[in-house]
Structure 1
Amino acid sequence: MKLSFIKNSKLPILILTIQSLIFILIMYLLNGKLFNKVIFFIILSYFIGVGIIVFSEINKSKKIKKLISDFEKEPSYKTLDKLLKEAGVDYRNILDDIYIKNKKREEKYQRQRTELYDYKDLIERWAHEIKTPISIIDLLIENHKEEISRYFLESLSYANSSLKDNINRLLYYGRYNVKKIDYKLKDLSLKDAINEAMENYYSIINERELVVIDESLDIRLISDYNSLVFIVSQVLSNACKYAKSKIKIYNISKMELCIEDDGDGVYQKDLAFIFEKAYTGKKSSNTSSTGMGLYLAKVYANDLGIDLSVKNNEKGKFIISLNFQK
């Protein structure tokens, strides 16, 4: 705005200066005595004129800036007409072109937004519907344990648990992209949440022949139970993927839970990105990782006031901490 009013003021000030100098010269040549009497008023008039030019240009620049902002926020014929009235009709073709392009862009955005919501709705409905055949598989596994070979039973349980985990992650991803999440905060047991998360990963832990040492304390929290189970599950899922033989769950203080695995951890330079979307860990050969688990755990933890962070990144001792102090 400052550069604009200075630039716009240059020409009128230059014209005023030339006119004033010509007038002073004429007055001096015609009547020297009269010149001495009026020179003060001529100079005063000149500075008043400069002040009026600068002040009017500042006001005009401010007004145009506001009208451009209004037009940008609400591109309509009403805001366009106001802007043209102030800026001048010479800008009509340019502003009309901007208006039409903005209108098309807005229409395209609304169309894509609708398509995205429809797609999201379809995915969520599919995710809920797929739970029915998964439940049937659970029932078949439970009712036909004696008829199925141990190897086949464990493989089927592992595949079913992995499928549940991925669908659950998909649902939580869709849920978080909705503007409002209805968290149901209540007094709950952290131990219950850990046990449920462990139960969800029993088949995966069994398939990978991992030893899980649970030394966590039974503490009470005010939180959303389902979201807390999801957060613990995603950290546990990460540990299951990268652990070599052992996972340990324990508290280092009453309000801080740690989940430790004996994997190789991550490169130090990549540590800052571990909770970023799609980070998969370059040290690992695990090709099934999507990088969404810890990302979603972090965004839900932030919502619930849980500080989720990497506590240790040593080889053979990778620790993720859930601090409930907030």
Structure 2
Amino acid sequence: MSFLNYLRGKLIDIVVHLLIILLTSVIVISYSVPTAVIYMLCLVYIVIFAVYYYFDFRKIKNKFNNYYKMINSLDKKYLFPELLSNLPLEENEWVKLIKIMEKSMVEEVKREKKDKSVYKDYIEVMIHEIKNPLATINLICDNNKDDTSRKITIQTEQISNLIEQALYLAKLENMERDYYIKETKLERLVSLGIMQNRGALLENDFLIETSNLDFNIYTDEKWATFIINQLISNSIKYRSNHPKIIFKGNKLKEAVELFVIDNGQGFNKHEIDKVLEKGYTGERAHNLNSTGMGLYITRILGERLNISISIDRNTESGASVKLIFPVEDFNRQL
């Protein structure tokens, strides 16, 4: 609060005081009072009210400074009105109005959360329902192998990846209730990710190299596989003419690193800090149907699962993604 803003709030009072001074001066002049006395009376009047306004401003400012300190010390700042007591009549009425608005807002938030929860539950159910005909299509293609069925399998893999994105995005808010941390093999996660994209990898003649993956890690197999699946899907989407993906493990003192390296289109150096942001498609995606959600979901999942994710440019071309998995159950540590 500034003194100028305070004076603006007191503008009507100040105008009234000036009118009183003017009216008083006119009356006093009619009684032939010396001008010097009139000036002195006006000056005293102005000084008295100037001092009053100054100290009133200081009082109000100190009071609100204390209010700001109180509200900043609260974790749940919406409880601040409950701490106010012994307020002047006008301020007390304002607090009552704020509480009415607060109650209305709480009810509105509850309705929004309920509607959102119902919608998310519907999305999850529908996605699982969509998976059933996809599984049937894949089974038919496996039993009738030809060029057409191979192309259909590739398309169903892409559809499956997209609906997996939608499913995991819907689950992000409450994913703690859906994951189970246990010991698993890093090699198994990589194999599952490759199997989920085998049609597109074979169709595009990908060279797959794996090395040093025989490590035990602690993570949720389903969610971690989704992360690797998204990285493979990106490598397929932004592949080069002679595509290759390298999966390489490395043991640290208290963690295990997994490097996923491809020789695809890659990205510019100035994009490194942006590629994990929500909706960022990058300059390489101008001619591709990219949503920019895959890597964003991957980053959020990594944070929730205590998996560190970093992306860099490959020394030759393409991208290099490093995942760092814990080798102990971090839930047990907590």
Indicate whether the TM-score tops 0.5.
Answer: yes
> Number of paired residues?
271
Pairing of 1:9-28 with structure 2 (within 5 A): none
1:202 aligns with 2:203: no
Q: CA deviation at 1:199?
A: 0.5
Aligned to 1:291: 292
Q: Which has the higher contact order (CA 8 A, sep 6+)?
A: 2
RMSD (Å) for aligned C-alpha atoms: 3.5
The answer to whether the Cα contact below 8 Å between 1:247 and 1:259 also exists between their aligned partners in 2 is no
The answer to whether the Cα contact below 8 Å between 1:266 and 1:313 also exists between their aligned partners in 2 is no
Distance 1:194 1:68 in 2: 49
Distance 2:299 2:64 in 1: 46
Aligned to 1:121: 121
Structure 2 unaligned spans of 5+: 7-55, 328-334
1:253 aligns with 2:250: yes
| C-alpha distance 57-181 of structure 1, shift in aligned 2 (>3 A) | same
Q: Name the aligned partner's letter for residue 73 of structure 1.
A: Y
Pairing of 1:37-116 with structure 2 (within 5 A): 73-74=78-79, 79=82, 82-83=84-85, 85-86=86-87, 88-116=88-116
Q: CA deviation at 1:195?
A: 0.8
Aligned to 1:274: 275
Aligned to 1:50: none
Distance 2:175 2:61 in 1: 41
Aligned to 2:303: 302
Distance 1:61 1:294 in 2: 45
| C-alpha distance 105-218 of structure 1, shift in aligned 2 (>3 A) | same
Aligned to 1:177: 173
Distance 1:186 1:127 in 2: 26
Q: Name the aligned partner's letter for residue 261 of structure 1.
A: D
Distance 2:114 2:130 in 1: 24
Pairing of 1:232-243 with structure 2 (within 5 A): 232-243=228-239
Q: Name the aligned partner's letter for residue 253 of structure 1.
A: N
Distance 2:91 2:307 in 1: 54
Question: Counterpart of 1:265 in 2: which secondary structure?
Answer: coil
Q: CA deviation at 1:157?
A: 0.3
| C-alpha distance 64-235 of structure 1, shift in aligned 2 (>3 A) | closer
Distance 2:237 2:143 in 1: 29
Q: Name the aligned partner's letter for residue 201 of structure 1.
A: N
| C-alpha distance 181-276 of structure 1, shift in aligned 2 (>3 A) | farther
1:186 aligns with 2:186: no
Match of 2:160 among 164, 180, 192: 164
Question: Counterpart of 1:160 in 2: which secondary structure?
Answer: helix
Q: CA deviation at 1:72?
A: 5.7
Q: CA deviation at 1:64?
A: 5.6
Deviates more, 1:176-185 or 1:237-246: 176-185
The answer to whether the Cα contact below 8 Å between 1:279 and 1:291 also exists between their aligned partners in 2 is yes
Distance 1:300 1:60 in 2: 45
Q: CA deviation at 1:201?
A: 0.3
Structure 1 unaligned spans of 5+: 8-52
Distance 1:68 1:303 in 2: 30
Aligned to 2:265: 264
